[in-house]
Amino acid sequence: MPKVKTHKGLKKRFKITARGKVVHRRAGKSHLMSHKSGKRVRQLRRPARLNSTQAALVKTLLPYE
């Protein structure tokens, strides 16, 4: 059976933790921060986790990560 290629675009955006969870950077933090509330900006700092359905799809495209 041939090797599965890693999806390079996903590799740059998602990380699989040691326990198998998939985390990513939240959208909406690159610019235009002045009108967003402080609470919203603070919450955007933390990485987000994917639910199990989406995580399974990402893991198939990142087989060796």
What is the predicted pLDDT for the residue at 65? 82
What is the predicted pLDDT for the residue at 1? 82
Strand blocks (E) in the chain: 14-16, 22-24, 48-49
Count of all residues that appear for the chain in the document? 65
- How confident is the prediction along the chain (65 residues), in pLDDT tens digits per residue? 898 999 999 999 999 999 999 999 999 999 999 999 999 999 999 999 999 999 999 999 999 88
